[in-house]
Amino acid sequence: MNKIYIIGIGPGSKGLMTHKAMEAIRDSEVIIGYDYYLELIGELIAGKEQIATGMKRERDRARQAFEQAEKGKTVAMISSGDAGIYGMASLLWEMKRHGYEETQIEVVPGISAMNAAAAKLGAPLSHDFCTISLSDLMTPWALIEKRIEAAASADFVTAIYNPVSHGRFWQLMRLKEIFLQHRSPQTPVGIARQVDREDETIRIVPLAELDASMADMFTVLIIGNSQTFRIDDRMVTPRGYFNPEEKSGHPGRDIMHESFQTILEELGHHQLTAEELWVTLHAIHTTADMGIKGKIILTPGVLPLLHAAFYSGHPPVIVTDVTMVTNGIRKTLAEQLGITIKCYLNDPRAIQLAQDKKITRTQAGIRLAAEEHPNALYAFGNAPTALMELVDLIRKGKAAPIAVIGAPVGFVNVKESKWQLRFGCPATPHVIVEGRKGGSNVAATIINAALSWADAEAIQPGCGL
């Protein structure tokens, strides 16, 4: 019988070969393939006639397969992964119609490299995805680049085959450049090399850190989409089952969650860090003002810093410039954590000090607060003069806040107060709402964002945590 099995052997370990693939190898008399692939299945093909060739000899292997089959032998053409994905299947089917019509062909599917890599990485291929090979030996680079642009702009999770070789050293960095025009720098990228083999390596890096030195011809990359997130050193692309189907049992939290998803969709492509995005989601949810996007300026690490302090068992005092900020903070949670929230605006001492020094009550309140709680978290949602007072105290060494929320709103001294904090106290961790935007509700919601920082991964996929 003139027959050729085109067999995908998976990534290379026996454990990831299908039962049908092993049966086809057992039934074959002649085994043909790239020499390295035949080595991977050496114990399965021992005693059989073997024809091995080096790389870039695909047509030679295909021709020999047909010649052996025409002699009446059953032939196994070996491909790694799945033979129909960048493998030998298409070549043999093309050649069949050009002189080998009598030979039967059966494709035996295998586990592709991207499937094996995805399993190691978590669940990155759970939504729409595509694959692109960076090999330009048979496909012009101009066409490959069009496909990269299309995949990036359409927000496909993208598996990359043949990312780097000795002669292909720049293409991956060009792909990165294109993807960064459409994806956050924090987008997870899975790097899987020699999957399920002895020298397997698996790692995940942010898109911004991807480098050609991290890959070779035995590597498959998986670039997440805008929703892909990291958890427990894995990357996951949500399919959508969890959010619409499973409610928390807390109507307010469910509404907030749904609002966040709506805001994420309207934000679209962005270059925000995880912390900037988390604060932005809270601020927009509170104000319905999409113009806040890009207005959040923060010290990297300020949210994890505050979150850890709040949950440390010895949380910092929160000092606010006005009572409206105090009212917006999640009081039940604050009480559970033992957080004290203070506003000195109506303190009789502040009222008297304001009269004596001819300053605003909020300024006077901050002076008192700095004496009693110099290391507090200070939050400003109304009074720029109070923020400027704190900056002066910090610069004089009379206050050392754990962090400052600078979100006063208005027209007089508002921008200037934020510049004073940002540029005058660069060593003080801070979150600023740039320009005239802000308000007591915004200052409070920024504190709530720090309180809920641990929820960022679950509620806000794609943040790159």
Beta strand 219-223 pairing with 157-161: antiparallel
Rounded to whole angstroms, how far apart are CA atoms 112 and 413? 61
**Tokens standing for 60?**
């030679």
For 223, list phi and psi in degrees, rounded to 5.
-95, 125
Sign of CA dihedral 132, 136, 137, 140: positive
Instruction: Report the run of H or E that residue 28 belongs to, with start and end.
Output: none
Q: Edge to edge, what strands does the sheet with 188-193 contain?
A: 129-133, 157-161, 219-223, 188-193, 201-206
Rounded to whole angstroms, how far apart are CA atoms 322 and 392? 19
**406 DSSP assignment:** E
Q: Is 19 a catalytic residue?
A: no
**Tokens standing for 343?**
């506003």
Instruction: Report the run of H or E that residue 79 belongs to, with start and end.
Output: strand 74-79
At 323 the three-state DSSP class reads: helix
Query: Which residue from 192, 265, 184 is spatially nearest to 234, judged by alpha carbons?
Result: 192
Rounded to whole angstroms, how far apart are CA atoms 238 and 400? 42
Beta bridge partners of 3: 74, 104
What single-letter amino acid sits at 206? P
**Tokens standing for 35?**
């020499």
Catalytic residue among 182, 270, 285, 307: 285
Rounded to whole angstroms, how far apart are CA atoms 231 and 8? 32
At 58 the three-state DSSP class reads: helix
What single-letter amino acid sits at 454? A
At 291 the three-state DSSP class reads: helix
Rounded to whole angstroms, how far apart are CA atoms 267 and 290? 8
**Tokens standing for 334?**
């604050």
Contacts of 264-272 with C-beta under 8 Å, sequence gap 24+, read 264/226, 264/460, 264/462, 266/290, 267/293, 269/182, 269/183, 269/184, 269/226, 270/184, 271/184, 271/185, 272/184, 272/296
Q: Which residues are catalytic?
A: 285
